Structure 1
Amino acid sequence: MRTPVTWALALAVAGCGGKGSILDELTVSAGQTQGPTYGPSGEPDDSGDEPTTSATTGEPTTTGGPSGTNPIDVLFVIDNTGSMADEQARLAKNIAALVNTERDLRIGVTTTDAGNPRCPSAQTTPENGAMATLSCIERVAKGEFSFNMEDFSYACTDVCDLGAFDLVPTPTSLEPEPEVRPWFERTGGVTNLADEGLSLVQALQCALPRGVNGCGFESQLESMRMALVRSMDANQPEYGFLRPEADLVVVLLTDEVDCSYNPAFKSIFQDNKIFWENQDRPDATSAVCFNAGVRCEGGAPTYTACPATNHDIEGEPHVADDDAVLWPVSRYTGLLADIQASKTGGARVRLLAIAGVPVGFETGDVPLVFEDDPDPADQELFGIGPGCVLANPQDPDFPQVARPPVRMLEVGASLGPLEFHSICQDDYSALLATIAQP
């Protein structure tokens, strides 16, 4: 039976981005984050990930981790669009850096696909924040690793060889009756995996690659919000995912800007071309997402700052939240603040992004530069130049490129020192290790 719980959550609070925004300063530096902990060999310590030894346990009374630490609830919001195959594989390959901690873990996985008028729902099947534990091998069979007639199944098969796996029923503090949950869990060294010989690392390596057929107008922030709200709704499978005594770490993996839009203003993707980079085009591009949610300052092609800004349907900036065509940043900062207020025992809420910032931004050593794309075609597609670029030795004409995550940066800054890392690097293990830092 589902036990109702009261959450004091203001899902839409006053305030908006604009002049005086935190991004006025973040073009210079981002602030220091903690480094990873390594084992004696210099590699990430893998002593914490032991195969499960029993089918299930009751609700724990201790964290199972080192003295003075909290368990961790980790929500992965993964960009599942056509440019993300390599990044998903890299995340899965490096996931042991997170799992190999003594702290108890609960890990949910969803995507950035919350739908958009430019994405027929029958083709992209938006998750809308729903968590899933399906093996990517099953997703390959469903065609979810195909994009533009290209097969990207290697993003799954290079890291996963498990066709399927089962989870055992577990209780939560809100639901004492055990049920199969749509997340992975390890408490006191025991996982919720039915196969006692299967490690949490193996399962996550199969669950994290989410395919490349999602909506190309990514809603990173709204998908995060939907997943968190679902975890508070007694009618949803995700109910009970959040634990008051656990740190919450939201991890965004994406190479594009946030396009979390208010459905009341969906015409900006259809026939209202006010935010289109090229109004002679027959269809909207991702440039709408940048132009509708950001207002750059200073002259082109290189800007002094590009803060998140509310625009109304006529293109006017600095408008009230209710008039904003993209959901205001306050929708997400308010939600996370209220979740933080519900935490106990020193637990905290964090947002860690692997996104379009340069390597070194996470330490404050390298600034995020906003400038127009030198390629007119790419400027038309995205509305802004890259936040980072990674060379592609196999195909030099097609480097990895990611756009500046302005709206996500604003949300991250509301929680304290930024934890934004570059998606444009070959190894994510060091940054993933920081998730488990106390």
Structure 2
Amino acid sequence: MVGFKETCGAARGARLLPICLSVGLACADEPAAVGACEVAADCPESQTCVFLGANERDGVCITATPTPGFPGPGLLAIDISYFELDVLFVVDDSPAIAPRLPQLAGAMTAFAEALGAARPALSLRFGVTTTDAGNPQCATAAERGALRMESCRARLDEFVDDEAGVDAREACTAACSLEALALEPTPERDGELAPRPWLEAGPGWDNLPDGVGLAEALRCAVPQGVTGCEFTSPLASIEQAVARSLDEGDPAYGFVRGAADLLIVVISAGNDCSVAPGHEAIFSDNEVFWGDLQLPELSPGICWRAGVACDGPGPVYEGCGPVDRGDDGMTTTPEQAVLTSAQTFAELLKSWEDERETYKFGAQVRVFSVAGVPPGYAEGQAIGYADADDPGFQTQHGIGPGCSDEMAAPPPVRLLAAGDEFALAGLPAASICEPDWSEAFTRAAVTMSENLGPACYWRCVHDADPDTHELDPICDVIATNWAEDWSTSIPQCVRVDGGWVSQGGSPRCFVVRADNELDPRCAEQGYNLELELRATEPDPWGTTYVADCWLSSNPIGDCPKL
């Protein structure tokens, strides 16, 4: 079978989606003009419609030179990748989170175990930042989306706030036994082998210290202490963290992978105070949203008045939702709002998901929140909005609790609105007031794992030898390292005792799924083949995979059974 190196050359970039059709056809580095063809019937009889993007709508008619005696139009090479999931934790580090730090550490065990059980061949990354995105009212240095990957035992001073009367050190020491979290060096986009500020665990490898499991590493790394800013800004922290991942000069460069599904986990006991650039004065000079507050005793109640509007006169409200207000307190456009609009954040999440769809069919961005919603909160359930009976809580947050138990938290109106379209199915948010989050994190892990974008092969394929009509290898999968200029074919995985293993000592192999094993989403799009990579060691930096598969002459939607 013709390999990728012979047909397209070894030095292609990782995201070109090279297209090669048998002998006599050149590679296409750039997508065809939009609308050239959408189905095979749009092309002349001597040509076929080839799709160079992930959406299967924009194609180009080209002349295909069939392999002699073979009924299909030849070979089509398409990029494939591992099942990849990036998890970004945005964790409240204000004094308000202290009563729930033990629950956070405990939930990490359930989360890690559920991810491992749900999808055996999964490449995972975990990054952690705080809800402290910078606020004029906070003198402490803000993370502003910087990834933190350090054992909580190495920063126990961050678990004590004398002014607030909070000492949460036991929440760390009871859950974490690691004095330090010295991660193994790994390669990344910059080509250098170095420790990264994230946890990584792939099929057969990880960057964890010897003898340290993923669950313990998460228990040590995710809790962020209690000395952070009380003006919590999870939405701004999300934006800042992703921006850092794209910044070549930042230690977090490369954390968010272009083809990976992205799960954003927000844990917050406060309002969202994500101030828009240029409007910081609402926390220092502009008193429009202060109410009865005065310097220096300002509170996050400012954020409620600046970013939320409720129906009715109170003290019980029919409902509350996000609103965009300008410096004068009047409603305005998202562009002029003093807090970055929830609509703006929703559009940002949508753009990130669209980018992933370019590289992998079905890749998702999802948001899972643990915040001030009622215990057992379900999609479409009313939260209930009312002024607080406790004057101190009302002053602090501008509204009564969305939930209360051993602790109380305001309803997360802006956070839920921004992530509404991207909530996990059946699990829009969990209550920060619940005493145990293990079940919620287990459900989040299983739901996200089950819905990872499948590696569908974007055309109809054929599996019969044209001369013998017996089964022949459907695909040739080529591993290419464009940084080191090498290319090699990898074997197909075989079943042994119910599991998949490689052949011939290769550390990598690929699984072919068809018919009853095909992901339903591939079948719904009209495809008949799905490929899955497996590996027992890390890939050298610059490694990409391309599958050369025999094409069927059938149009998409009428693929043959394999």
1:115 and 2:134 aligned: yes
Displacement of 1:330 in angstroms is 2.9
Q: Distance in 2 between matches of 1:5 and 1:388?
A: 46
1:313 and 2:327 aligned: yes
1:374 and 2:393 aligned: no
Displacement of 1:285 in angstroms is 1.2
Q: Distance in 2 between matches of 1:435 and 1:192?
A: 24
1:421 is matched with 430
**Aligned structure 1 segments of 4 or more residues deviating by more than 4 angstroms:** 3-6, 279-282
Aligned partner of 2:124 among 105, 117, 133 = 105
1:152 and 2:186 aligned: no
1:333 and 2:333 aligned: no
Matches within 5 A, 1:11-160: 63=82, 70-100=83-113, 101=116, 102=120, 103-120=122-139, 124-140=140-156, 142-148=157-163, 149-160=165-176
Displacement of 1:334 in angstroms is 2.0
Aligned partner of 2:179 among 140, 146, 163 = 163
Displacement of 1:128 in angstroms is 0.5
1:342 and 2:360 aligned: no
Secondary structure, counterpart of 1:252 in structure 2:
strand
Displacement of 1:323 in angstroms is 1.6
Taking structure 1 as the reference length, what is the TM-score of the superposition?
Answer: 0.78
Distance 1:407 1:246, change over 3 A: same
Identity between Structure 1 and Structure 2 (%): 38
Q: Distance in 2 between matches of 1:251 and 1:150?
A: 25
Matches within 5 A, 1:342-421: 342-343=355-356, 344-364=360-380, 366-390=381-405, 399-415=406-422, 417=425, 419-421=428-430
Displacement of 1:411 in angstroms is 1.1
Secondary structure, counterpart of 2:146 in structure 1:
coil
Q: Distance in 1 between matches of 2:294 and 2:158?
A: 34
Displacement of 1:375 in angstroms is 1.8
Displacement of 1:242 in angstroms is 1.6
The amino acid of 2:110's aligned partner reads A
1:218–1:257 contact (8 Å) kept in structure 2: yes
Q: Distance in 2 between matches of 1:144 and 1:427?
A: 21
1:293 is matched with 307
Secondary structure, counterpart of 2:237 in structure 1:
helix
- What is the root-mean-square deviation of aligned Cα atoms in Å? 2.1
Secondary structure, counterpart of 1:342 in structure 2:
helix
| More RCO (CA 8 Å, sep 6+) | 1
1:58 is matched with none
The amino acid of 2:208's aligned partner reads L
1:255–1:402 contact (8 Å) kept in structure 2: yes
Q: Distance in 2 between matches of 1:370 and 1:150?
A: 28
Q: Distance in 1 between matches of 2:109 and 2:411?
A: 28
Q: Distance in 2 between matches of 1:428 and 1:412?
A: 20
Alignment gaps of 5+ in structure 2: 1-12, 17-79, 451-562
Matches within 5 A, 1:163-242: 163-172=179-188, 174-195=189-210, 197-242=211-256
1:285–1:382 contact (8 Å) kept in structure 2: yes
Q: Distance in 1 between matches of 2:304 and 2:179?
A: 39
Q: Distance in 2 between matches of 1:281 and 1:166?
A: 43
Aligned pairs, how many? 360
Larger radius of gyration: 2
The amino acid of 2:289's aligned partner reads F
Displacement of 1:363 in angstroms is 4.6
Q: Distance in 1 between matches of 2:249 and 2:363?
A: 26
1:262 is matched with 276
Distance 1:150 1:402, change over 3 A: closer
Secondary structure, counterpart of 2:180 in structure 1:
coil
Displacement of 1:104 in angstroms is 2.8
Distance 1:219 1:4, change over 3 A: farther
Q: Distance in 1 between matches of 2:250 and 2:107?
A: 30
The amino acid of 1:110's aligned partner reads T
2:307–2:323 contact (8 Å) kept in structure 1: yes
Alignment gaps of 5+ in structure 1: 7-60, 64-69, 391-398
Displacement of 1:192 in angstroms is 0.5
Displacement of 1:62 in angstroms is 5.6
Deviations along 1:326-382, whole A, 9 cap, x unmatched? 111233212211110111132100000000000122354x42011111122321221
Secondary structure, counterpart of 2:408 in structure 1:
strand
